[in-house]
Amino acid sequence: MSCRILIVEDEIFVASEIEQVVAEMGHDPVGIAADKKSALRFAGDTEVALVDLNLRDGPTGIEIGKILAQTHGASVIFITANPAQLGTGVPGTIGVVSKPIAERDLRDVVDYAVARRAAAEANPPRRLKLFDWSNDNPIAT
């Protein structure tokens, strides 16, 4: 299954590498966004979003992820060097993986997000810290 994937990352070299991997996997990278305004411009076309926390306009990644997940129904995974900023997580989002991320781990995270979106059985990648929102009791697992 091919998905439309948004990359929310302000470091262009990192974003370009992620975009290349996503495309090689057969997915459609809908764009690279370095801030909230540009990220939300792509929101209607996004099925999966890979979101950094600290962007060109400041620490807006949490808000972007929340809007993409809760308002636009995107499957959101945060990719950040600062996972502690997420606390117990963001309602509606899947989880977080720490940067730097190796290509194999990135591929595993994308495969997992796509499988979750398709409601297919999938085991979370080892490096992905899942957010548990069952019973409205956030627990990072």
Chain segment 80-121, per-residue pLDDT in tens: 999 999 999 999 999 999 999 999 999 999 999 999 999 999
Q: Is it the case that residue 124 has pLDDT exceeding 50?
A: yes
Closest CA to 74 of 41, 44, 47, 45: 47
Say what the pTM is. 0.94
- With a cut of 80, say whether residue 56 has pLDDT above it: yes
pLDDT at 128 > cutoff 80: yes
Q: Match 């990278």 to its residue by tokens.
A: 29
Average pLDDT over residues 125-135: 83
Residue owning tokens 């940067």 = 99
**Residues 88, 90, 93: CA angle, nearest 5 degrees:** 120
**Domain boundary assignment for the chain:** 4-140
The answer, yes or no, to whether residue 9 has pLDDT greater than 60, is yes
User: In the prediction, which pLDDT does 69 show?
Assistant: 97
| Cβ atoms 46, 74 nearer than 8 A | yes
3-state SS, one letter per residue, for 48-110:
EEEECCCECCECCHHHHHHHHHHCCCCEEEEEECCHHHHCCCCCCCCEEEECCCCHHHHHHHH
Pairing of the two strands 129-132 and 139-140: antiparallel
What superfamily in CATH does domain 4-140 come from? Response regulator (3.40.50.2300)
What's the rounded Cα separation, in Å, for the pair 30 and 17? 14
- Residue 140 banded pLDDT, cuts 50, 70, 90: very low
Mean pLDDT of the chain: 93
Q: Does 31 have pLDDT greater than 60?
A: yes
What percent of the chain is modeled with pLDDT above 70?
Answer: 94
The pLDDT assigned to 61 comes to 98
